[in-house]
Structure 1
Amino acid sequence: MEALVVKFQEIGLHDIAMVGGKNASLGEMYNELSGKGIHIPNGFATTAKAFRIFLKENNIRQSLINLLNNLDRKEYSNLEKIGSEARKLIMAASFSEKFTEEIKLFYRELSGNEPIEVAVRSSATAEDLPTASFAGQHETYLNIKGEVSLMEAVKKCFASLYTDRAIKYREDKGFKHDSVALSVGVQKMVRSDAGCSGIAFTIDPESGFKEVIHLSGVWGLGENIVQGTVNPDEFYVFKPTLKQGKNAIIQKKMGDKAKTMIYADSNGHSSITNINTEVSKQNRYILTDAEVLQLSKWCLAIEDHYNKPMDIEWAKDGITQNLFITQARPETVHHSKSSSSFTEYKLKEQGEVLVTGSAIGSKIVIGTARILDSPRDSHKLESGDIIVTDNTSPDWDPLLKKAGGIITNSGGRTSHAAIVARELGVPAVVGTNNATNIIRNGEPITVSCAEGSTGKVYKGQIHYVENKINFDDFHLPKTEAKFILADPDKAFELSFYPNNGVGLLRMEFIITHMIKAHPMALVKFQDLLDSAAKNQIEILTKNYPSKEVFFIDKLSQGIGTIAAAFYPKEVIVRMSDFKTNEYANLIGGQQFEPKEENPMLGFRGASRYYSELYSEGFKLECEAIKRVRDEMGLFNVKVMIPFCRTLEEGKKVIDIMANYGLQQKVNDLEIYMMIEIPSNIILASEFAKIFDGFSIGSNDLTQLMLGVDRDSQLMAEIFDENDPAVKQMIALAIKKAKESGIKIGLCGQAPSDFPEFAIFLINNGIDSISYNPDALIKGIKNMNIAEREVKV
């Protein structure tokens, strides 16, 4: 005979029909994972049978059925009224003496000598589909203390089976209302109000990339994340090198954490309040690196146990300083993601950007902005409108299903709005800070989540294209096809394309967009004369112990993210190749850059690295690479030296890199050289004794072979990679590399634009060809044609 109340140690995944998915999972983890060192708070659960007996004893089952039979299933105009009446029926009913005594008995056993605070959680299950997920549909009550308060919270959980959103959810999913029962979990409370809490996904929640763990969190109770009230801290941890014991944190983003949710003194009742977070806590991460790694290892163990990507809730007790896992469920959005096909969105024009925030999804949508204050404004929303609001909660779910897109002032990637947007497959821009003030109600807007991790809302209708890419029956050529990449935000999504790794990672994008300041302005900050630049750098680096650490942190995270996305395939990082005029445009750069008449042929590439004008900046670049390889464990990273004019320069750079901790051959470090100067080809056999591989930079090589400034519009017609002189030099470079026994690739546009150019390269035995992302697919097709032509 099924019990009315069961301990966590008595239940597991096989008991979903009895206690619902949430409580079955808690029991499973408590029994199976506590022994592995994972902290799971103990507790007990009421059963589905107890709920059905409660309805029967109070003779309200038929009344609920009759009530829901009157639901307007077309417009849901009376949803609020019916939900309210259903909940009143539950709250007016009484628990049996037997059920009450059982709960009190289990609570006393859990508490010991003194009543303790507990979390009281709803966990629904359906007779006809016990494994169905009802995540986020029902209520949780925190900081409940004492038997009277506990019994009241249990009844409120029962009543939450009939919240408006839960009723609408069952309607959408086709569940019979009377087939769904509710179990209540009672769990020892983690005092995260004095600590911190958050969410973890064992998969990237945006792209579905499976090799990372995404952690996010806030000070105090985690409800601020779910509600999107604050922007949380975020951490990305790379699974393969985490398993190797490395410091596998590849990315950290500090949120504002402006509010901290704590318990309010309310005599054992569930009462919370949101207070302003003190500035010192806003400006530091909620977790240490050691705690991030500890949580991530637990997440790995949970994922391994369930054998599927997981959505996990965690908390840190601010009194004991211990970490806990408080909940885990299968991740439902990306678990079945296929890399065989997807749709790529791209803007055809630019426009006026109204607001920016975190991009959720990768789509673009055009619609009418509809500013809403609460779910009560549902009558203002037309199907396809773009909701603009401060933040959302589960009560918004019926509205969100009508929306073409979502924009919120607050919230991060794990806020309620973000989670629902992913489930619905609509783009969202969250954490904009001021969308409701900037966007006008009723105006047409374009929401773009197709430009990396930053989502943009444009004024008016911006034209865009959709490109459906199908990788079925799409095979890679024998010659390696690689990416030319710059933007870390796109790396996880691009990793699903057919590829052999990254042939050229341009770090200039990371420096320009993530660091923004000139490396020497950071090194010699005290000598910086520009007061405005000084102020900007102070703001950028305010949470770092030094300006140099800021540079190393940002650059290593950008490179590390791309290296992780393509691991274990090789990722070749080109050391910085700004020209003096480009470097001067960085914050504080004017003071440290000489004025040159022709920067294209001036102080760039290898010549900078050993010069006293930049060697300390180059040291920071080397420190970042060293962190990516030695600390993060991403040994698939190789480095490449651009614009190396002479053999002596090559040797100098190799030596200075060794002095900075990047010793050639140590930990299999390979150092490549760009072939882009005629001297590189004439002396290729000698350069091959210094470097481990070559990559032809066809743009610079064409420029220097034909004597044409590649930036000159006047000379554009003469600039041609297909010119016989250029092709002869490329062929000679490949020949000499082969004779020297080292790899050689090419980075450039021509192989994707011209099938005959791909045939030429493959015919000469090129090892790899690298493409910009928008040219890769066409390039691979040309390579396959070429290999058939030359019978590779």
Structure 2
Amino acid sequence: MGDKSATHDLVRKFEDLERGDVAIVGGKNSSLGEMIQQLSAKGIAVPGGFATTAYAYWHYVDSNGIREKMASLVAEWQEGRTTLAETGHSVRKLFLRGRWPEDAAESIKTSYRELSRRAGVENLSVAVRSSATAEDLPDASFAGQQETFLNISGENALLDACRKCYASLFTDRAISYRQTKGFDHMSVALSIGVQRMVRSDLSGSGVMFSIDTESGFDKVVIINAAWGLGENVVQGTVNPDEYQVFKPLLNNHAVVPILAKTRGDKSIKMVYGNKAMPTRNVPTSKAERAAFVLTDPEILQLARWGCTIEKHYGCPMDMEWAKDGVTNELFIVQARPETVHSQRDPLAAFHTYTVENKGRILTTGPSIGDAAVTGRVCLIESATDLDKFIDNSILVTRSTDPDWVPIMKRAVAIITDQGGRTSHAAIVSRELGLPAIVGTSNATFLLHTGQDITASCAEGDTGYVYEGIASITTNTIEPSALAPIRTSIMLNLADPAAAYRWWRLPAAGIGLARMEFVVSNAIRIHPMALVHFDRLTDPVAKAQIALLTAGYPTMPDYFVDKLARGLAALCAAVHPKPAIIRMSDFKTNEYAGLIGGAEFEPQEENPMIGFRGASRYYSPRYKEGFALECRAIKKLREEMGMTNAVVMIPFCRTVQEAKKVLEVMAENGLRRGENGLQVYVMCEIPANVILAGEFADEFDGFSIGSNDLTQLTLGVDRDSGELADLFDEQDEAVKWMISRVIRVARERGRKIGICGQAPSDHPEFARFLVECGIDSISVSPDSFVAVTKHVVAAEEAGEKQ
């Protein structure tokens, strides 16, 4: 039954434990012992402490004569004679009314005195955490199932907290979870971890995953951080900061591979209270809300620790960390296996979702999972109203905790006001396979019960709640079913937030990353408005710019940092394969639509063939804006380490213009060939084909933009409905252009690819490209499988001829 453990010790020091001791001290405590024993020498700091054993738990149970009563109460519930609430309450009461056996109490008090002595503090403040002997297994997280008590001081308070820990093994949520997972309630014991408190009440704390929690992308560490003690992050009652770090470059101390830094509002923090209430929540200051919790060196230190822990355990890990506000030291306070993506085969089939016919956006928040669903809202204000939940509805609430799990299982999606990617709502939603949108801040205010909505987590890091019932298409992709291929198939990607979704595709890199997407979505401000803020006359634009750039040393620094980090996520998704980044290719009317842009852009009759692409980069009208783009690329490659970034120049009309652009790039620290920098040119103007040899002298490669090349070869406005029948990328004139530039590129030893839509739509066009000897075909991710099959067929047909 669990009482005859391998040892009859009542208490074990953490340093005497290892990960094989789960049966004795549970998952959390055996893991803490393992890290102290094995990883302290590698610089990972874990606060000391001790654990009560499973034997101590059964000793308490039998000393109070409650074993048979517990079994009987659980059996009555399983037989349907009592409710879950009645059963949980009755079993907990047995524990709370129990008395500590003298030897167990003395062992706990002696160990506590020793811990206090080693810390040099009388009645040391400790964290008291539950560690069930069935928890933290690779296929079951037991997230938040048992209780944690923080800032416990004094022997009597410690014994009382330990008694409450034992009782928490039979909270309603814990009973329900074990029943669902098939664990025998009477075979699971509880160990209690007593750990020196880290003074994170004076600093910050949070959660860290050694894998992307949504896509399973295994090259990033995700860190969430908030001020104060960590329970607010774990429970999802605060919207934390989020940092993303690129793992493969962490050993290179010459670079800072922090891919993303998102500031959360962190509206409250948990601090020390008094003996009656050891912890309490207080509002954060405006300064705390505006600041990041961790510095860049601290983010990197934690990420390196996360990689070390992951390597030691041999699987993706879910960790909790804390920073001591007195000593400024970082600590790992918990580590357990990640339980969702670690169970999946990266080559297994996966689903993608396309959302069409969307209503207006009602609210947004971090997306959990990658699915999309439609349904009817069921708004639940508090735990007292859980019985009002309607099955198969979309649950909308402020935040969830383990008491909510039974109704979360009956929902089709979950939307919360509060919490980040590591909140309770996020963890449980992943485990249940439900899409969730967390931390919206206003869902309970904007949505109402009975309302039809669409919850979409299929569009990247941001989840969208749309009004009404949208059309959702599900596609299945099987990477393992794709045949080997000679022609490189690359991806067209623009949205950094969605890049990690496609990491399982065996793509040869990114053939086209559109810089303007990052500018319009993440930056939103015209670069010249940042360089010449003093020249702006629009008061609304000036106010918007001041708000967006707050916290940056200068306004141009905002542009450089945001652009570099946005592009870094794209580069990371395919690293070390190339990511070809096209410098900005807005047309003047599109630039004018950016904040502050109208005052810096000319009016043009035909922007499509006007002041766009290369002509802007050396022009006095935009040269300073282009300098910011170059600074961002330089930061991306040299400071962040993404040397797989390849630069591409769009709409380069003449060879002389190419020389001017390369000169301006060099003035801004981007010299072709230096530090491995390659510069490509878009082939989208007939002049690029006619003088392909001369352009090959200036650039390392070509990318055929078949849409513009077709438009300018045939003299057809591609947006004209009247001329739609004439716009044909397979017209003989266009194919002649394409075949010629491919031949010249190959003769001159230059790479050449295509990034148009035609290979996706027309198998015969893919075959034409293969026959011409093109190096790569770049397509949208949802076309990857179809185009790969077209190309495989074309290659096989060529071999037979």
TM-score by length of 1: 0.98
SS of corresponding position for 2:23? helix
Q: CA deviation at 1:132?
A: 6.3
Q: 1:515 aligns with which of 523, 531, 538?
A: 523
Task: Give the direction of change, closer, same or farther, for the CA distance of 1:132–1:570 in structure 2 (3 Å limit).
Answer: closer
CA shift digits 1:115-160 (9 cap, x unpaired): 2101111001149x99965342101111111111111111111111
Q: 1:467 aligns with which of 451, 468, 475?
A: 475
Q: Which amino acid aligns with 1:65?
A: A
Q: Does 1:581 align with 2:589?
A: yes
CA shift digits 1:729-769 (9 cap, x unpaired): 11110111111111111111111111111111111111111
Q: 1:23 aligns with which of 29, 39, 49?
A: 29
Q: Which amino acid aligns with 1:362?
A: D
Q: Does 1:97 align with 2:102?
A: yes
Q: CA deviation at 1:165?
A: 0.6
Q: CA deviation at 1:77?
A: 7.2
Contact 2:27 / 2:134 at 8 angstroms: preserved in 1? no
Q: CA deviation at 1:354?
A: 2.2
CA shift digits 1:184-207 (9 cap, x unpaired): 011110011111000000000000
Contact 1:144 / 1:270 at 8 angstroms: preserved in 2? no
Cα distance in 2 for residues equivalent to 1:354 and 1:71: 42
Cα distance in 1 for residues equivalent to 2:299 and 2:401: 27
Q: CA deviation at 1:431?
A: 1.2
Matches within 5 A, 1:253-332: 253-266=262-275, 271-332=278-339
Q: Does 1:58 align with 2:64?
A: yes
Q: 1:14 aligns with which of 4, 13, 20?
A: 20
Q: Does 1:612 align with 2:620?
A: yes
Q: Which residue of 1 aligns with 2:383?
A: 375
SS of corresponding position for 1:204? coil
SS of corresponding position for 1:651? helix
Cα distance in 2 for residues equivalent to 1:599 and 1:242: 44
Instruction: Single out whichever of 45-54 and 773-782 deviates more from structure 2.
Output: 773-782
Q: Does 1:251 align with 2:269?
A: no
Q: CA deviation at 1:270?
A: 5.5
Q: Which amino acid aligns with 1:671?
A: V
Q: Does 1:525 align with 2:533?
A: yes
Instruction: Single out whichever of 294-303 and 269-278 deviates more from structure 2.
Output: 269-278
Contact 1:695 / 1:747 at 8 angstroms: preserved in 2? yes
Task: Give the direction of change, closer, same or farther, for the CA distance of 1:274–1:787 in structure 2 (3 Å limit).
Answer: same
Q: Which residue of 2 aligns with 1:784?
A: 792
Instruction: Single out whichever of 10-19 and 269-278 deviates more from structure 2.
Output: 269-278
Task: Give the direction of change, closer, same or farther, for the CA distance of 1:28–1:556 in structure 2 (3 Å limit).
Answer: same
Cα distance in 2 for residues equivalent to 1:141 and 1:2: 26
Q: Does 1:748 align with 2:753?
A: no
CA shift digits 1:589-627 (9 cap, x unpaired): 110001111111111111100111111110111111111
Instruction: Single out whichever of 107-116 and 138-147 deviates more from structure 2.
Output: 107-116
Cα distance in 1 for residues equivalent to 2:369 and 2:763: 34
Cα distance in 2 for residues equivalent to 1:144 and 1:703: 73
SS of corresponding position for 1:80? helix
Q: Which residue of 1 aligns with 2:51?
A: 45
Q: Which residue of 1 aligns with 2:3?
A: none
Contact 1:16 / 1:131 at 8 angstroms: preserved in 2? no
Cα distance in 2 for residues equivalent to 1:22 and 1:593: 60
Q: 1:362 aligns with which of 361, 370, 384?
A: 370
Q: Which amino acid aligns with 2:330?
A: L
Q: Which residue of 2 aligns with 1:759?
A: 767
SS of corresponding position for 1:137? coil
Contact 2:222 / 2:245 at 8 angstroms: preserved in 1? yes
Contact 1:190 / 1:317 at 8 angstroms: preserved in 2? yes
Contact 1:21 / 1:131 at 8 angstroms: preserved in 2? no
SS of corresponding position for 2:305? helix
Cα distance in 1 for residues equivalent to 2:240 and 2:421: 8
Contact 1:515 / 1:551 at 8 angstroms: preserved in 2? yes
Q: Which residue of 2 aligns with 1:115?
A: 123
Q: Which amino acid aligns with 1:101?
A: E
Q: CA deviation at 1:775?
A: 2.0
Q: CA deviation at 1:476?
A: 4.3
User: Following superposition, which runs of at least 4 residues in structure 1 exceed 4 angstroms of deviation?
Assistant: 129-133
Q: Which residue of 1 aligns with 2:4?
A: none
SS of corresponding position for 1:33? helix
Q: Which amino acid aligns with 2:104?
A: F
Q: Which residue of 1 aligns with 2:782?
A: 774
SS of corresponding position for 2:110? helix
Task: Give the direction of change, closer, same or farther, for the CA distance of 1:92–1:509 in structure 2 (3 Å limit).
Answer: same
Q: Which residue of 1 aligns with 2:358?
A: 350
Matches within 5 A, 1:450-599: 450-599=458-607
Cα distance in 2 for residues equivalent to 1:233 and 1:240: 23
Q: Which amino acid aligns with 2:109?
A: K
CA shift digits 1:216-267 (9 cap, x unpaired): 110001111122212100000000111222201011101101111111122x
Q: Which residue of 2 aligns with 1:413?
A: 421
Task: Give the direction of change, closer, same or farther, for the CA distance of 1:131–1:440 in structure 2 (3 Å limit).
Answer: closer
Instruction: Single out whichever of 316-325 and 704-713 deviates more from structure 2.
Output: 704-713
Cα distance in 2 for residues equivalent to 1:573 and 1:354: 33
CA shift digits 1:405-442 (9 cap, x unpaired): 11111111111101111110011111111111211112
Matches within 5 A, 1:198-209: 198-209=206-217
Q: Which residue of 1 aligns with 2:446?
A: 438
Cα distance in 1 for residues equivalent to 2:740 and 2:491: 24
RMSD: 1.6
CA shift digits 1:379-411 (9 cap, x unpaired): 212321211111111121122111111111111
Q: 1:79 aligns with which of 84, 106, 118?
A: 84
SS of corresponding position for 1:235? strand
Q: Which residue of 2 aligns with 1:682?
A: 690
Q: Does 1:68 align with 2:74?
A: yes
Cα distance in 2 for residues equivalent to 1:397 and 1:760: 55
Cα distance in 1 for residues equivalent to 2:657 and 2:666: 14
Cα distance in 2 for residues equivalent to 1:275 and 1:176: 41
Structure 2: unaligned runs, 5 residues or longer = 1-6
Percent identity over paired residues: 53
Contact 1:16 / 1:130 at 8 angstroms: preserved in 2? no
Contact 2:143 / 2:428 at 8 angstroms: preserved in 1? no
Q: Which amino acid aligns with 2:709?
A: L
Cα distance in 2 for residues equivalent to 1:365 and 1:504: 30
SS of corresponding position for 1:325? strand
Q: Which amino acid aligns with 1:44?
A: F
Cα distance in 2 for residues equivalent to 1:545 and 1:205: 32
Cα distance in 1 for residues equivalent to 2:53 and 2:295: 39
Contact 2:479 / 2:504 at 8 angstroms: preserved in 1? no
Contact 2:702 / 2:753 at 8 angstroms: preserved in 1? yes
Contact 2:460 / 2:501 at 8 angstroms: preserved in 1? no
Contact 2:76 / 2:82 at 8 angstroms: preserved in 1? no
Cα distance in 2 for residues equivalent to 1:91 and 1:229: 28
Matches within 5 A, 1:678-717: 678-717=686-725
Q: Which amino acid aligns with 1:94?
A: R
Task: Give the direction of change, closer, same or farther, for the CA distance of 1:258–1:132 in structure 2 (3 Å limit).
Answer: closer
Q: CA deviation at 1:458?
A: 2.3
Count of aligned positions: 788
SS of corresponding position for 1:596? coil
Q: Which residue of 1 aligns with 2:406?
A: 398
